Amino acid sequence: MTDRLSAATSTAGHNRHDTLIPRPRIQPVSPVERLLLGPGPTSVHPRVLGATAAPTVSHIDPIFISIMEEVKELLRYAFQTENAFTVPISGPGSAAMEASFVNLLEPGDKVIICRNGVFGNRMVQIAERCRAVVVAIDDEWGEPVDPEKLRQALQAHPDSKVVAFVHAETSTGVLSDAEALSALAREAGCLTIVDTVTSLVGVPLFIDAWGIDVAYSGSQKCLSCPPGLSPTTFSKAAIDRIRARQTPAQSWFLDVGLLLSYWSDDSRVYHHTAPVNAIYGLREALLMVAEEELPAAWSRHSLHQRALSVGLEALGLELLVAERYRLAPLTTVRIPANIADKTVRAHLLDRFGIEIGAGLGPLAGKVWRIGLMGKNSASTSVLRCLEALNAVLIELGADLAQGIAVERAESLYRSNAGSR
């Protein structure tokens, strides 16, 4: 292959070789193994990566159709639901967030959105673009959604049709009481949209028992898959609402009516080309969840979060969130005074191969977000993180009780022997 078109093919006009944009000469950067302890993506299990390397079949191949059915069944287990429409949407978590709102809301519909972080705020922005009437109720960043405020808002706005909130606010590390909030919405006759991106598999979540209508997640959090798919579930009541719409959903790609036909087990109407290999990976991750079983996954995430917390506190660091609202898959810790946020994160990444997350919005520069999600919810991640953080902070002159962090975490593990 020559870089330039030969004289023979070089004719007049746009085919002339002197108009060819030269081929790029790049030195491709290779990804290296990192310990991903940020807000997502988390490290991907080798079994999942291996599964994505299986031969690509067509999305209409009977083999793939069987795999889709398996994925639906496995997702129903992960979400604890019998909802027929339980599928991975092709796109990151934000795509499923958008799908939830554009399908349930019509222009002029009133929606109450509980906002206590970045993702609640995004819900407001999406709902506004649906030209819905948004009633936003706010709680402090670092606090859970207050059910009492929702109760009052439902009373003040009896014409509300939908209530939306984030179960696990990854921007702050707070878990809200999805069961209580959903019950209030239900009593008031509202459908619920619940962001379970970081809670799915990481903390107890019962879509049917809690009466949640629409929930969505992301492949790259506690499922330990590569980013790009967003598991979603819609209740029968939500599907009925969509079928009764006066106006078509504003998004063609995310129209659940169309996706229903694509994912249905009998008539599969072409909608888009599913990301076949990514779905192999998701199936593998979901098989692993089923093998471990949900209660074991939930207690594993809780144990390692507690070990990380005692370790961070032993370093003299302060956690943002009160113990009872702490989110097992993600811990927010205050950055000590006089310590440069970016320098610490850069040292952790460059020297220890560990990524932790920065603060967002009002918490930018004030906290770090340390994720222990899926595969990385493990004692090895906790101990490596504490050790590295200890070393970097001491080096940067922080006044810390050196060395005891790992010891405290180890001691918590010893008293929970058998569960690591």
Ligand X SMILES: *Cc1c(COP(=O)(O)O)cnc(C)c1O
- The footprint of ligand X (CB under 6 A) covers 39-40, 92-94, 97, 119, 166, 168, 170, 195, 197-198, 218, 227
What gap in Å lies between CA 347 and CA 353, rounded to an integer? 9
The nearest distance, CB 292 to ligand X, in angstroms, is: 22
What gap in Å lies between CA 368 and CA 340, rounded to an integer? 11
3-class DSSP state of 129 = helix
Output 120 or 311, the one with its CB closest to ligand X: 120
Output 106 or 143, the one with its CB closest to ligand X: 143
Exposed/middle/buried for 281, CB within 10 Å: 0-12, 13-18, 19+?
buried
- The rounded Cα 58 to chain-centroid distance in angstroms is 28
Output 97 or 153, the one with its CB closest to ligand X: 97
The nearest distance, CB 122 to ligand X, in angstroms, is: 7
The nearest distance, CB 29 to ligand X, in angstroms, is: 22
The nearest distance, CB 93 to ligand X, in angstroms, is: 3
Helix (H) or strand (E) holding 182: helix 178-187
The nearest distance, CB 239 to ligand X, in angstroms, is: 23
Output 106 or 139, the one with its CB closest to ligand X: 139
Q: Is 329 left (phi over 0), alpha (psi -120 to 50) or beta?
A: alpha
The nearest distance, CB 301 to ligand X, in angstroms, is: 14
Exposed/middle/buried for 155, CB within 10 Å: 0-12, 13-18, 19+?
exposed
Output 94 or 251, the one with its CB closest to ligand X: 94
What gap in Å lies between CA 126 and CA 134, rounded to an integer? 10
What DSSP string runs through 231-292? EEEE-HHHHHHHHT-SS--S-STT-HHHHHHHH-SS-----S---HHHHHHHHHHHHHHHHH
3-class DSSP state of 35 = strand
When CB distances to ligand X are compared, the closest residue is 93
Output 123 or 188, the one with its CB closest to ligand X: 123
The nearest distance, CB 58 to ligand X, in angstroms, is: 26
Output 96 or 392, the one with its CB closest to ligand X: 96
